[in-house]
């Protein structure tokens, strides 16, 4: 079987085994996460603020900048799809100047990365698949300065320390977001969500 045939067959299996009713706009996103993880629990633990899928589609079509918390999440985002949309994806956390500034100020690299991300002009999609400090830093910064317009968040870090708390705080904040509640998540999940959002725009996936 060709790769696309394997994917199509996998999606058929997921559709047949999926037990949780899902709204039409979020179903393709959840299915792609399940495809990336083979974990059907995401159908029950993913949360979407009202209108978030349409909002992110509009942002992506307007050439949004996607800022990830890790290079691993960045690597998983489909660059061809980005190119068709005129969007771009970046990760600041491993930059030498970010590390130096974080050390000098006594803050995390995630904090400095988010400060830089929030200053980017135009629509922004902030994507967290690994570091809950990314989400906590975002909440700390925006509590003081507010959330810039045309900014949305994908919050799906994985792990045991501060992960659940960070996701719950993000969800309670009212910030436009997609969140996988609980401990599950990861960079692959974050990338799968971004890719599903891009694939949901007509003409992006040939």
Which amino acids are annotated catalytic?
Answer: 35
Backbone torsions φ then ψ of 153, nearest 5 degrees: -130, 135
- Give the angle subtended at the CA of 32 by the CAs of 11 and 25, to the nearest 5°: 100
Distance CA 33, CA 186 (A): 10
E strand spans, 11-150: 46-48, 65-68, 88-90, 124-128
Backbone torsions φ then ψ of 90, nearest 5 degrees: -140, 160
Do the bridges between strand 65-68 and strand 88-90 make them parallel or antiparallel, or are there none, so unpaired?
A: parallel
Distance CA 100, CA 112 (A): 10
What are the structure tokens assigned to 23, written together? 């709204």
b/e map of 86-115 (b: 16 or more CB within 10 Å)?
Answer: ebebebbbeeeebeebbeeeeebbbbbbbb
E strand spans, the chain: 46-48, 65-68, 88-90, 124-128, 151-155, 177-180
Distance CA 166, CA 122 (A): 26
């Amino acid at each position: 079987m060709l790769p696309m045939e394997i994917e199509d067959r996998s999606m058929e299996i997921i559709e047949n085994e999926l037990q949780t009713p899902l709204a039409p706009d979020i179903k393709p996103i959840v299915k792609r996460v399940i495809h990336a993880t083979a974990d059907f629990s995401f159908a029950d633990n993913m949360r979407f603020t009202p209108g978030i899928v349409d909002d992110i589609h509009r942002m992506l079509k307007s050439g949004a900048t996607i800022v990830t918390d890790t290079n691993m999440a960045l690597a998983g985002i489909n660059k061809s799809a980005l190119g068709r949309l005129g969007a771009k994806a970046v990760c600041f956390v491993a930059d030498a100047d970010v590390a130096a500034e974080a050390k000098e100020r006594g803050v995390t690299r995630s904090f400095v990365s988010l400060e830089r991300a929030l200053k980017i002009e135009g629509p922004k999609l902030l994507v967290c698949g690994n570091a809950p400090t990314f989400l906590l830093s975002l909440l700390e910064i925006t509590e003081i300065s507010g959330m810039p317009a045309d900014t949305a968040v994908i919050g799906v870090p994985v792990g045991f320390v501060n992960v659940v708390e960070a996701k719950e705080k993000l969800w309670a904040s009212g910030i436009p977001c997609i969140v996988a509640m609980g401990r599950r998540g990861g960079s692959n999940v974050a990338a799968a969500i971004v890719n599903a959002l891009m694939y949901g725009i007509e003409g992006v996936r040939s």
